[in-house]
A and B are shown apart, each in its own frame.
Chain A
Amino acid sequence: MNLALVAIVLAIGGGAVLAVSTRNDAASAIGIAITLVGSALLSDPLPSAAVLGVRVVAALLVATMIRSAMRTGPRQPSPAGWPSEALLATAGAVAGLGLAVGLASVAAAGGLPVGLPGVGEPSPGGAVGAGGGTVTSMALITAAGASLLALGAAPLVHGRPGPRRAIGLVLVTQAVLLLRIGIAGPAVELEEIAREGLLVVAGATGAALAIAAASSIPGRDDAEPAGT
């Protein structure tokens, strides 16, 4: 097991919990930045410097856009609180690990080499088929993706428009992108560009809608009543 990857998965989950649960705008933006940059680094072996650069730049760009949306929008902390969100993230990660193990079992039962990337996918530097190491990396990526999906789904589909929904949109998008790699293997360079473009568009869309919603909301929804 690659401990560095485990640490990155924990950072991704922790950042996402911070992003959806805190009342502090800056802390929320830092949380989303940790999650996205961590997701960019969640790969074994690491991709080429160019691809890594694209991933990190996209991650920071999205975090910046979300932060800018927070300046004008209402504060929208999680109504459930961070312990509940952390438990939800853990449950999602466990489900993701289960999914990865299930996929590997089905592949092994079918006589396929365990850890084989998807049909039409390139072999990432010969690491494919190397055995347990690759499977673990894929399983961890799937776990991180499922964790983000569990955390991001509720803010995305439920609740008032604003920064929280933007964070949900970004988390769900990142989750699907991670799950895509986790179950089907590494992406080719062109797909990497398209994926990061999609992430940036999701961030920009969420930020634009949050800013628009803020301009139609007379006050912050968590503002203290006058005189208290």
Chain B
Amino acid sequence: MTLLILAAVALGAGIATVLFGAERRRLALAIGLIGSLVVLALALVMPDTDSLIVGGVGMVSTPVVRAMAVAWSASLAVLGLLEIAVGGRPTVVGPSLIGLAVAGLALATRDPASSMAALAAGGVAGVLVPGIAGWLDAPNMPSRLPTTNRGTLAILGSGLLGLGVIAWGASAAGPLGAGGGPVAVEPGAQLSLSLALLVIVAAVAIRTGLIPLHVWAARFMEGVSPLAIPAAFAWGSAAFVLVALDWSQVALGPAAAGDAERWLIILLAMTSVVLGGLAAMVHDDVEHVLGYSILADAGVAVLAFASLDPGVVAAARNWLVASATVKTALAAWASVVRTTYGGHRLDDLGGWARHSPALGIAFAGILVAAIGLPNMALFQARTDLVSSAMPGIGPVVALVIAAMPAIYLGRIAIAGLAPVSPAVAAGMPGRPRWRGGRAAGWSGGPVTQAIRAVPGELRANRAPLMALGVVALAVMALLTATGGAGG
């Protein structure tokens, strides 16, 4: 029941935020922030196991649903505050709340077709709203509208493809037969199962923007606020992959992945992992680093389809929730750096960590969470996913994959420790400071003076306060990377 209330609040607040966003920014942001705080409170009190029947379908609140709701809503509350501080059109909280509502319902419901339809419908706002805002903000870049168009088609198309394969699987003459579970392995049935698996993986590839289907995703990420990226890619994709994985595991079973299919899936996933990781290493633009690292993370998750083993699916749950939290923190860091220093290329960001120690501490936390330590859930999940797909060499490959964030985030960290560049020096002050002055034109008592001084102090310390928000997200990333999603 708590989940239903959470979804209703999130959906209502999200739609209201999107509708008011165009004309009344402050009202929209207030609704979004209050809504995200209420949703966070509901997620915290939501029981681990709760079930009810809605519309003829059982809805079960599992630890994974709760972990995702808590992590996403907590991140969202901080992103809402950062969106207020960063300024611009409100494109983050509204779509994220809608995405959170449908993701919670989709993961809880026991009917995969309902889940897929809901995810397709709820995921569009995460691309459409920031995409159109990015296009409106850049009149000299008309290509952003076609990119948004392709993005919405990818979200809807992947959902429709998923619906199609789920329907095929549920049909009387489909690969599942009518017995309520996977059919006996015979050549024809095996072919059907394998095809169904490949189609659902194709839907996942389209939704997550895996290489070589990444062009729209890469261009989309260039044209929107970094704060909007987690809802569209990290969290939205995570929910989609989880639903697809659950369906594949229950409906198709491990027998669906024959040798040829397994290698095809591994090839697709590793292409994104390797090329995405390399692209993140060579790019100087921190927003490109963010985008390609999200694609690489999605590639790791897709490896779960290569075996569909229950243990691996549990690892995928941990990986998806933890990596989404880490990338949310990285997106917030990128957005705050851009707002504070006006640049997003490493050449312009020399000495950013020296200039803003709080941002440096937050980035150190993000770095540790992204790489993981051997006893962390994220590290173990990555090792399990890679090892299950590639027995024998898996642990070594997992270590190589773990080294990738060390390199591409390490480059950013090294730039932060370099001498302070002129661009960074000209940015907003990164250290907290107390103005200590009286509010202009006011002559009340000391308490009144102090209250009147708050807005001025907030404005003067905007950059350190934003950095504090990133620190909070980095702590969340570390906690989720350590504890996982209860998968």
CB neighbours (8 Å) of A177 from chain B are 163
Residue B466 at the chain A interface, CB threshold 8 Å: no
Residue B3 at the chain A interface, CB threshold 8 Å: no
Binds A, one of B61-69, B117-125, B322-330, B405-413: B117-125
- What residue in chain B is nearest A210 (Cβ atoms)? B149
- What residue in chain B is nearest A172 (Cβ atoms)? B160
Q: How far is the CB of B45 from chain A (nearest CB, A)?
A: 24
- C-alpha spacing A218/B79, complex, angstroms: 37
* Binary CB contact string for chain B from 460 to 485 against chain A (1 if under 8 A, 0 otherwise): 00000000000000000000000000
Residue B111 at the chain A interface, CB threshold 8 Å: yes
* Binary CB contact string for chain B from 137 to 167 against chain A (1 if under 8 A, 0 otherwise): 0000010011011001100100110011011
Query: In this complex, which of B113, B122, B132, B174 has the most chain A Cβ atoms within 10 angstroms of its Cβ?
Result: B113
* CB pair B172 A116 closer than 8 Å: yes
Binds A, one of B51-59, B228-236, B256-264: B51-59
* CB pair B56 A119 closer than 8 Å: no
- C-alpha spacing A105/B171, complex, angstroms: 13
- What residue in chain B is nearest A105 (Cβ atoms)? B173
Residue A209 at the chain B interface, CB threshold 8 Å: yes
* CB pair A189 B173 closer than 8 Å: no
Q: How far is the CB of B195 from chain A (nearest CB, A)?
A: 14
* CB pair B109 A190 closer than 8 Å: yes
* CB pair B117 A191 closer than 8 Å: yes
Q: Out of B118, B132, B145, B173, name the residue touching A104 (CB < 8 Å).
A: B173
Residue A183 at the chain B interface, CB threshold 8 Å: yes
* CB pair B171 A118 closer than 8 Å: yes
* Binary CB contact string for chain A from 5 to 19 against chain B (1 if under 8 A, 0 otherwise): 000000000000000
In the complex with contacts A112-B178, A161-B146, A194-B118, A205-B152 CB distance below 8 A? yes
Q: How far is the CB of A98 from chain B (nearest CB, A)?
A: 13
* CB pair B176 A184 closer than 8 Å: no
- C-alpha spacing A201/B126, complex, angstroms: 12
Q: How large is the interface on A (under 10, 10 to 19, 20 to 34, 35 or more residues)?
A: 35 or more
In the complex with contacts A209-B148, A209-B149, A212-B135, A118-B142 CB distance below 8 A? no
Q: How far is the CB of A199 from chain B (nearest CB, A)?
A: 8
CB neighbours (8 Å) of A40 from chain B are none
Residue B432 at the chain A interface, CB threshold 8 Å: no
* CB pair A198 B153 closer than 8 Å: no
CB neighbours (8 Å) of B397 from chain A are none
Q: How far is the CB of B317 from chain A (nearest CB, A)?
A: 22
Q: How far is the CB of B109 from chain A (nearest CB, A)?
A: 7
In the complex with contacts A212-B145, A213-B145, A118-B170 CB distance below 8 A? yes
- C-alpha spacing A112/B173, complex, angstroms: 8
- C-alpha spacing A213/B142, complex, angstroms: 10
- C-alpha spacing A165/B152, complex, angstroms: 12
Q: Out of A102, A119, A188, A190, name the residue touching B178 (CB < 8 Å).
A: A119
Residue A107 at the chain B interface, CB threshold 8 Å: yes
Residue A75 at the chain B interface, CB threshold 8 Å: no
CB neighbours (8 Å) of A194 from chain B are 113-115, 117-118, 121
In the complex with contacts A161-B149, A193-B55, A205-B128, A183-B176 CB distance below 8 A? no
Residue B342 at the chain A interface, CB threshold 8 Å: no
Which B202-221 residues have C-beta < 8 A from chain A? none
Query: In this complex, which of B160, B167, B168 has the most chain A Cβ atoms within 10 angstroms of its Cβ?
Result: B167
Q: How far is the CB of B84 from chain A (nearest CB, A)?
A: 25
Residue A122 at the chain B interface, CB threshold 8 Å: yes
Residues of B at the A interface (CB closer than 8 Å) are: 54-57, 109, 111, 113-115, 117-118, 120-122, 124, 128, 132, 135, 142, 145-146, 148-149, 152-153, 156, 159-160, 163-164, 166-174, 176-181, 251
Known contacts A119-B178, A120-B180, A200-B121, then 7 further A-B pairs from the complex at CB < 8 Å, ordered by chain A residue: A102-B173, A115-B172, A116-B172, A118-B169, A119-B180, A173-B160, A179-B164
Closest CB pairs A-B (n = 5):
A118-B170, A190-B55, A189-B55, A106-B173, A194-B117
> Can you list 20 A-B pairs, Cβ within 8 angstroms, ordered by A?
A103-B173, A103-B174, A107-B178, A119-B170, A119-B179, A120-B180, A161-B149, A176-B163, A176-B164, A180-B113, A184-B168, A187-B113, A188-B56, A188-B114, A194-B113, A197-B121, A198-B117, A209-B128, A209-B148, A216-B145
